[in-house]
Structure 1
Amino acid sequence: MTSIEVYTDGGNRNHGNYAGGSVKSTDPSAWAALLIYGEHEKMLSDGEFGRTNNYMEIMAVIQGLRALKRTDIPVNVYSDSAYVINTMQQKWYVKWRQNNWHKGSKVVKNATLWQQLLQEVDRFDDLTWNKVKGHATNKNNNRVDAALNKTMDRLEANR
């Protein structure tokens, strides 16, 4: 059986903020997901202002998986986000869940999004997580990066 490939990426344009500074409400952010099944392809992308890169990385996977109707076909998720891939491959979320979405005394960042992602993940029979190098030679990773940048361009133009 052919598997479904889902390439995801998220980004933020942090305009003029100092290194390590927080995202401003005027900074455009976007996600993109490319769904591939055999000869069929579908590109999804959307964005908003004031979200972090990590927020959009998780959102890309949520939206990519949410768009899949068949849950009985093996799915390979590809992301350049170590945050997303490590959380899923190393199952960091298990401890977060056990601790009521806390790490020590602090709430896990993006806890609501992680919960949404896990709801999507639970729908699938066979899901594999794959880390790809960002901004490198992976054609489909470059395609989702270009799509989210187009979305951020549109957000900025329509401000």
Structure 2
Amino acid sequence: MELTGVIEAFKYIKTNNIHIEVYADSAYVVNGMNNWVKNWIKNNWRKSNKKPVENKELWMELYELVNNQASVTFLKVKGHSGDVGNEKADELVNQAMDELKSVTP
């Protein structure tokens, strides 16, 4: 879900000529985009231990969306630590989950 959330956010961006900063409490997403993805591509979507990359299709989609933008920076924030944006994102996710529970049989 961490990858899917970022992918869906990029799909809503209607321009590609601005700098985008992605603040995420997911080390998986931030490290993946900042440190791992280029080597995975170079190694035919294999990790350094030669095993296939998990969630390859999602990483490929995110990489393509990011590369369609002029400039993107991924920044790690600590979750549940008072970061205003992170707390608001958590609030919205919990609200959406509550709404889904109320309409799901």
| TM value normalised by structure 2 | 0.88
Q: Which of 98, 101, 107 in structure 1 is aligned with 2:52? A: 107
**1:86 Cα offset (Å):** 0.9
AA of the residue aligned to 2:91: A
Structure 2: gaps spanning 5 or more residues: none
The reply to whether residue 126 of structure 1 matches residue 71 of structure 2 is yes
Alignment partner, residue 41 of structure 2: 97
Alignment partner, residue 98 of structure 2: 153
**Higher normalized contact order (CA 8 Å, seq sep 6+, divided by chain length):** 2
Alignment of 1:34-49 (within 5 A): none
**1:126 Cα offset (Å):** 1.1
In 2, Cα distance between the equivalents of 1:124 and 1:132? 22
**1:108 Cα offset (Å):** 1.0
Decide which structure has greater helix share. 2
The reply to whether residue 66 of structure 1 matches residue 20 of structure 2 is no
In 1, Cα distance between the equivalents of 2:41 and 2:73? 21
Q: 2:68 aligns to what SS in structure 1?
A: coil
Identity %: 39
Structure 1 runs (4+) deviating above 4 angstroms are none
Alignment partner, residue 18 of structure 1: none
Q: 1:107 aligns to what SS in structure 2?
A: coil
Alignment partner, residue 82 of structure 2: 137
In 2, Cα distance between the equivalents of 1:60 and 1:137? 21
In 2, Cα distance between the equivalents of 1:151 and 1:128? 27
AA of the residue aligned to 1:152: M
Seen in structure 2, the aligned counterparts of structure 1 residues 106 and 156 have a Cα distance that, compared at 3 Å, is farther
Q: 1:106 aligns to what SS in structure 2?
A: coil
In 1, Cα distance between the equivalents of 2:17 and 2:45? 29
**1:106 Cα offset (Å):** 3.0
